[in-house]
Amino acid sequence: MMPYDEFRLAVTRRHFFARTSTGIGVAALASLLNPRLFASGPAINPKTGGLADLPHFPPKAKHVIFLHQSGGPAQMDLFDHKPKLEKLRGTDLPDSVRMGQRITGMTSGQSSLPVANSIFKFSQHGESGAWLSELLPYMGKIVDDIAIIKTVNTDAINHDPAITFIQSGSQQPGRPSMGAWVSYGLGSENQNLPAFVVMVSQQSGINIDQPLFSRLWGNGFLPSNHQGVKFRSGGDPVLYLSDPPGIDRNTRRQMLDSLARLNHRQAENYGDPEIETRISQFEMAYRMQSSVPELVDFSKEPEHIIEMYGPEARKPGTYASQCLLARRLVERGVRFIQLYKRGWDQHNDLPRDLALQSKSVDQPSAALIMDLKQRGLLDETLVVWGGEFGRTVYCQGKLMETNYGRDHHPRCFTMWMAGGGVQPGITVGETDDYCYNIVADPVHVHDLQATILHCLGVDHTRLTYKFQGRHFRLTDVHGNVVKKLLV
């Protein structure tokens, strides 16, 4: 269609009145009736692309690496040592412990809920004396650098709402992800890379695991340049990064310039801010053609660093290679790095699959902390490790001598944090002898989110965005900073 014909068809009666209603006469009348209508949008920091009034106070952390363990790691098999469970093995979970709390449809039909103690041995590590499972020998070496939180709790009991909740602050899809909020508020320190980068590694267990959806790192109602940019494991790390056959860099530059002129004209006609966002994203993609190949090239990494991350560090798409890449992203000023490790949903065959999963993440996670620390980056980088909920103390299915499964448990689970602003070598919270309820220092998911933002110098109650007449925020109307975690 000819451009003139397209424009003529777009100018409907409604469109005509919408455009003419913004004339100077109407503007003058509006300024007399309500001067606040002329308040400009939020000021932008030209260096970072974030809001000009952020951070709200001096930050401890400049970057976040969120190591999300998708599926829900079993806390009593990894971090929360419960030796009394050995004597309770096979007994039914008491009503006085369950207290009528809901359970999923996968175990609600069982005639009993037999207690399953962990078959893995625990031992104390470091000067802090923290108890860790034998499945985490490498994490035992960094236990004095991390803060273990045993009492994280959530509102959701199934995967999709739970992972949506911890990533966006709402069980309902459509809200901005945490990384998008951080990108919107603080921007990036490197204009040649996105502020928010996402990587996904597959499960190491044998059973099929839960899928992950791109909306988990979406921008929601925030401008679309704040959504996470997913790095792939094969081919180009980012789609369409390479020039097509027969197109050189100069030709692509000319094409982008011509496209930008058309988009600017379209933006003038329609006033859609997403058009400006599209222009900026095209320019970012062009700059990434130079920055990303160097970023993902590990050839100059010292051999002892590669070995520190483990045997899979050189294999693209593995959790080990992504942990190493996360450190390189931090060095280059990327604000928020989200790693998803699938495979922790062990409803059956838990001893086998948990061992495989733990082996794949234990060494790389510990190496990331050590690598950041030796480079002087840990003090300014907040590292978060954990899933969307925990696992039940009772067995799903038949309890056997060397095999058992565990259902979802939102009441209490374990996560750990390290680096920027977090006190190292401590344990926060206490659960009961059944690892079912919280005894002291509960940390709700909204509290965790508020604390992460606090470490970045952001007051979670003041980072808001007006959408459909309401000011939204990551923590909704909840959340308290967990001061026991902070230096």
Q: One digit per residue, pLDDT tens: the chain, 487 residues?
A: 455 555 555 566 655 555 555 554 544 444 444 433 444 467 888 888 889 899 999 999 999 999 999 999 999 999 999 999 999 999 999 999 999 999 999 999 999 999 999 999 999 999 999 999 999 999 999 999 999 999 999 999 999 999 999 999 999 999 999 999 999 999 988 888 999 999 999 888 888 778 899 999 999 999 999 999 999 876 677 766 666 777 777 776 777 777 767 777 777 776 676 776 666 666 666 676 777 788 889 999 999 999 999 999 999 999 999 999 999 999 999 999 999 999 999 999 999 999 999 999 999 999 999 999 999 999 999 999 999 999 999 999 999 999 999 999 999 999 999 999 999 999 999 999 999 999 999 999 999 999 999 999 999 999 999 999 999 999 999 999 999 999 9
The boundaries of every CATH 3.40.720.10 domain in the chain are 63-237+296-485
* Radius of gyration, CA atoms only, the chain: 25
Q: Provide the CB-side half-sphere exposure for 103 (13 A, CA).
A: 21
Question: 199 near 192, Cβ under 8 Å?
Answer: no
* Angle at alpha carbon of residue 11, lines to 38 and 220, rounded to 5°: 55
Please tell me the total number of residues recorded for the chain in this structure.
487
For the entire predicted model, the pTM comes to 0.87
Tally Cβ neighbours within 10 Å of residue 125: 18
Helical (H) or strand (E) element with 372: helix 350-374
Residue 308: per-residue pLDDT:
98
**Class for the domain spanning 63-237+296-485:** alpha beta
Distance, first Cα to last Cα, the chain: 63
The closest of 404, 409, 306 to 363, measured between CA atoms, is: 306
Which DSSP category does 171 fall into? S
Residue 291: per-residue pLDDT:
75
Cα(273)–Cα(263) distance, rounded to whole angstroms? 11
